[in-house]
Structure 1
Amino acid sequence: MKLFGSSLILAGTALGAGMLAIPMVLAQFGFFVSAGLMFVIFLGTTYATLLLAEACSKTAQSTSMSSIAYFTLGRKGMHITNILFYLLLACLMIAYIIGIGDLLHSMLLEVGVDLSPVVGYTLFSLVMGLVVVAGKSYIDKLNRGLFILMIAMLFVVIFSLFNNIELANLSQESQFTTTDVIQYSAVIFTSFAAIIVIPSLVSYNQDATTKQIRNMVLLGSIIPLVCYLAWLFAVIGNLGVDAVSQFENISQLIAAFDAETTMLKTVVGVFSALALITSYLGVSMALYDQNKDAVTNNSAKAYILTFVVPLILATLFANQFISMLDYAGMILVFLAIWGPLAIVIKVRKPDFAQSKNENTYTATGGQPALVATFMFGALIFVSWFMG
């Protein structure tokens, strides 16, 4: 159950932003081109995640990206990694906080409560922070419950929407070029890359076998792919490419289900909120561990850095949900693709002082897989400059 819970943390971290951003970003390409793009990005991010899991299992201290970088890439590598890590988590935390505030505001309006997005996401962040500070076992249990509820909601939504699927909608697509597809790869890449929680999860499962670590990563990566495909199929099949392409935020996506039943709109809203919360838990856990490892061992100070500072930044970048995911995608190339690649090349050298842990994991594929991973990172990197 501990490993299963870890897979759900990995999957939940990926699912939050992706579930909400993917229909708005990919609808213009139609279902089939979007599905192909998602599958390619799934392969690249999954292998990069396995590389980082290998690095964590072979490094003496691997509670955060900071310590892994220090023991493999040296002090300069650690500083560069820390800067990128904080930039990434800042973008993700801001995106999730904005999304949660928007959702809470729209959902409470339905029951006659006018709570501003700022007040909503502030209360949410400070309360969730207490769970994260309490420890990973509490995060695991809460996330497990929320994730199972979220998947149940997803099945309810998809089953309801399947009754009104128009197959003609699936083959629709707007006018686009290959450049357009590559351009949006960074946002989709961000929706799959939950690599930031791997150091925390490998540390949490330090007694696991190499096969169990591999399976934890594979299950945690496959779940988002299946959910994304089913969600995109249901949304495009119901609403059509043109309608979905016009949405600018989460509230508009949910409001589009007004034409369906009121209950369905409520279920979509709750499902979207759960998707964001599970992502927020994973990202805040990674940021808290990073702060404890790299900045301060004081829990109160780490709490302020992890949960209060992002709140201030969120007020400065309101209405920038998709933009924050785009920025995060750029940073993730260095941190989640090329970073693990450089670290694994180092730990595979014969003179590297391996961890005394007997269960060290090695990702398969050899040199060709490492070259392919570098090229995948280059594709995502180039896509960011096509906007």
Structure 2
Amino acid sequence: MEHKPSLVGGACIIAGVCVGAGMLGLPSAGAGAWTLWSMFAVTLTMVVMTVSGWMLLESYKGYPLRVSFDTVTRDLLGKRVNALNNLSVYFVGGILLYAYITSSGLIIQEMLGLESHWGSVLFTLFFSVVVWHSTRAVDRISVLLVILMGLSFAFGISGMSMNVRLDLLLDRIGSETHYAPYALGMLPVALTSFGYHHSVSSMRAYYGEERRASRAILGGTAIALTFYLIWLASVFGNLPRSEFGPVIEQGGNVDALLKALGSVIESKAVASALNAFSMAAILSSFIGVGLGVFDYLADLFQFDNSRGGRAKSWAVTFLPPLLLSLLFPFGFLVAIGYAGAVATLWTCIIPPLLAWKVRRMGNKEGFRAPGGLLMIVLVIAFGVLTAAFHLLNMVDLLPVYKG
């Protein structure tokens, strides 16, 4: 009897792709909206991103199991749309690498007393070698980092959750009465935290069919959502809303958030666990995203897999974001916001368009994402509005919380 892959395993793969350094930006992005509206924004994003993943899964029907996002988009929507889609995937990867390099440089600066640019250089040179070496090296390091993330997160959050204050969690000590408008600017950061769509084809190949893959996707996004809600409640229940002012002023950088949390957490062990979790999350995301961009550029420029070819791929993958980090250290939250705005193209716009095209072609057999034409329109509208909110935020046309 043939062994079927478990749904738990697939759900954990999707959750692992989602949960990473992006979640570190959620508290700062949600400081204006605070607890209830931040949780609503993250939950709404999870629902939309799950449905859009299902729409992408639906569009793979009739194709070989190993088909890629790139192939299906080019086949159904044409070369120009596919080129734009690929460009957006690369941009998001590059801007995330830039965010991780900037944040890690600041954390290393605090730890070792170096100038921040030296911290960024050391981090990039040291850890990008893992990606240059081999995918297998990334695999081994990722397993260790996931274990470290799990243990440090569990210890840190358990320590914080025991000290959650209801008056802080519900902001009863503040004078604010209008939280909802601030939630709009949080959506691009929330969207980045559910960016698993490049793994949809892998899930389909893993299970050999769409229905079980769709359940694994739902399980994975639900696990990620649970992590994010616990994280938000733990931070907002310990750190007063007014304390986010200095963090936001520094671009939402992770080191600033950790410093603010360290000032209100009495246990040094809990503060150290949060530091370890943050560093592991950034490093895990850095090598994971770095590997994706590395392989993408190696294919684009036709660099071979020799040491010299991999060195070229390494240079075009890591040197541009490192250079940008040294010249324009905008801040973690700003970079994550840009990534979320551009990621709307391949997470909320392309997948529903693909599903619409498949349905127009009359392919009604097999798996179908729920909701019909109305759901397609709603997912696209969510993507367009999320990108628009980021642009409006940039020009100060949305309410921005500054502490």
Give the TM-score category using the shorter length: 0.7 to 0.9
8 Å Cα contact 1:187-1:326 kept in structure 2: yes
> What does 1:246-261 correspond to in 2, within 5 Å?
246-248=246-248, 249-256=253-260, 257-259=262-264, 260-261=266-267
Task: From the superposition, tell whether residues 22 and 308 of structure 1 become closer, same or farther in structure 2 (CA, over 3 Å).
Answer: same
Corresponding residue SS for 1:27: coil
Partner of 1:165: 164
* Shift in alpha-carbon separation, 1:280–1:57, aligned structure 2, 3 A: farther
Query: Any conservation in 1 of the 2:246–2:256 contact (CA below 8 Å)?
Result: no
2:370 is paired with a residue of what secondary structure? coil
Distance 1:31 1:306 in 2: 37
Residue pair 1:61, 1:67 contacting (<8 A) in 2 also:
no
Work out whether 1:79 is the aligned partner of 2:67: no
Q: Which of 179, 184, 187 in structure 1 is aligned with 2:186? A: 184
Q: Does 1:379 align with 2:385?
A: yes
* Residues 181-202 of structure 1: per-residue CA shift (max 9 Å, x gap): 2133222222223334445x34
What letter matches 2:155 in structure 1?
V
Aligned twin of 1:345: 356
Q: CA deviation at 1:210?
A: 2.5
Correspondence 1:1-387 to 2 at 5 A: 7-56=11-60, 58-60=62-64, 65-106=69-110, 108=111, 113-132=112-131, 138-172=137-171, 174=176, 176=178, 178-199=180-201, 201-202=202-203, 205-206=205-206, 208-248=208-248, 249-256=253-260, 257-259=262-264, 260-299=266-305, 300=310, 301-350=312-361, 362-387=368-393
Could you tell me how far apart the structure 1 residues matched to 2:151 and 2:219 are?
Answer: 18
More displaced stretch, 166-175 vs 37-46: 166-175
Stretches of structure 1 lacking an aligned partner (at least 5 in a row): none
Could you list the runs of 5+ residues in structure 2 that have no partner in the other structure? 394-403
Q: CA deviation at 1:81?
A: 1.4
Given the two structures, how large is their TM-score scaled by the length of structure 2? 0.81
Using a 3 Å threshold, how does the CA distance of structure 1 residues 346 and 122 change in structure 2: closer, same or farther?
A: farther
Distance 1:133 1:34, change over 3 A: same
TM-score by length of 1: 0.84
Change (3 A) 1:210 1:73: same
Q: Secondary structure at the match of 2:33?
A: helix
The answer to whether the 8 Å contact 2:21/2:278 transfers is no
Whether contact under 8 Å (1:26, 1:34) holds in the other structure is: yes
Larger mean CA deviation between 160-169 and 291-300 belongs to 291-300
For the 8 Å contact 2:55–2:351, the answer to whether it is kept is: yes
CA distance, structure 2, for counterparts of residue 116 and residue 128 of structure 1? 19
Contact 1:45 1:192 in 2 (8 A): yes
Q: Which residue of 1 aligns with 2:396?
A: none
Partner-residue secondary structure (3-state), 1:193 = coil
Deviation at 1:336, TM superposition (A): 1.4
Task: Summarize the Cα distance change of 1:58–1:253 in structure 2 as closer, same or farther, 3 Å threshold.
Answer: farther
Tell me, yes or no, if the aligned pair for 1:143 and 1:278 is still in contact at 8 Å: yes
The percent of aligned pairs where both chains have the same amino acid is: 25
Paired residues in the alignment total 375
CA RMSD of aligned residues (A): 3.1
Tell me how far 1:157 sits from its aligned partner: 1.1
1:13–1:278: 8 Å Cα contact kept in structure 2? no
Instruction: Classify 1:208/1:59 alpha carbon distance in 2 versus 1 (closer, same or farther; 3 Å).
Output: closer
Letter in 1 for 2:142: N
Moved more, 2-11 or 370-379: 2-11
Render the CA deviation track for 1:164-197: whole Å, top value 9, x for unaligned. Answer: 2111111116454643321332222222233344
Measured after TM superposition, the shift of residue 5 of structure 1 is: 6.3
State the shift of 1:9 in Å.
Answer: 5.0
Query: Following the alignment from structure 2 to structure 1, what is the Cα–Cα distance between the partners of residues 315 and 65?
Result: 25
Distance 1:297 1:346 in 2: 34
Q: CA deviation at 1:94?
A: 0.9
